[in-house]
Structure 1
C-alpha cells in the first residue's frame, strides 16, 4: 500500500510517520502531484495558522490538486479545517471540500482547547471498534460547528464537529497520532478503508 503524507511545510509529519510505522506501514512525505495521485491513501496534516498554511498550499499548486483526489484522504487538525469553505483564522478561504466554515471559540473558554477530550456520536467506518466517549488529544482555537457532515462530536463550550466526512474525504480535529492506542486504531481503520 502506498501512503503519502502531503508535505507542504505546515505539518506534524514526523509523529504521523512514526504512528504509521508502528502500524507496520511506511508513509512517504511528498508534495509531488504525481506521487500524491498514485497513492492508495493520502494524509493531509496541518499545524500552525490557517492563512499562512493556505498560502503554502497555493504556492505549491496543491490547493488545486487536493479537492480532485479520488482515493481516501484524511485531514488532521488544521488539515481538516483547510478542507472547509472558510476559516475565521486569518480570514482564510479554504479548499471547499466540506461545505462548512471554521469559527473561533468564544472568550468564555480557555483557548486553545489543549489536551484530552471525548468524541461521541461516532458514525463512520473510521471509528470501527472505537467506543463512544473515547478520549482524543486536541489542540485548537477554531472549530467546525455541528453539521450533517459530522461523523464525531466533541463538547468544549458547545457541541462541535470533531470529525467530518464527505465521500472519500475524512477530517479529524484531534491528533490520532498523539491519541494513544485508540488514535492509532483510527489511523489503522483509515488505512483499511
Structure 2
C-alpha cells in the first residue's frame, strides 16, 4: 500500500497515467522461458533483500519461477486473476514443502519471497489512480476489489498447501 501510494503521488507530479501493456507477439515457448527467467530473478532478488543466503534465495527463486509462470499462464488462459494467484501460491507452498523436506530450509524463508512477486501492484496502482478521479471511481473500485481478492488468495494458497502437507498443522494443539 505504501509503494502504491508513493507511485500514485509520483505519477500525479509527473502527469503519468496507467496504460495497458503492449501485446508481445512472441512464440509461447519464448514467453514461457522469459517468464521463468524473470520470475526467478525477481524472487531471487526479493529473497536476498530479506537477507536469505544465496542457496535459500536460489531455492525460493526456483519455486517462484515455476509458481509465478504458472499463475501468469493461467491468467493468459482466462482464469480469473485471484484463482490463478491461489493456484500459484498453492504450487509455491507444495514445492516449498518438498524442498523443506530435502534441505531443512525454513518454509517461510522460501515461500514468502516466492509469492511476493505475485502481489498485484499494478492492480493496486490502477485502483488508487482511478479512485482519485471522480469520473472513473467505479473503475477504481473494480481494480481495488480485484487486487483485494488476489491479496487474499495468496496466503490462502500457502495455507492450503500447509494443510495438505503438514499433518500437525491440521489440528489444534
How high is the TM-score relative to the length of structure 2?
0.24
Structure scoring higher RCO (CA < 8 A, sep ≥ 6) equals 2
> Greater CA radius of gyration, 1 or 2?
2
How high is the TM-score relative to the length of structure 1?
0.22
Greater strand share, structure number: 1
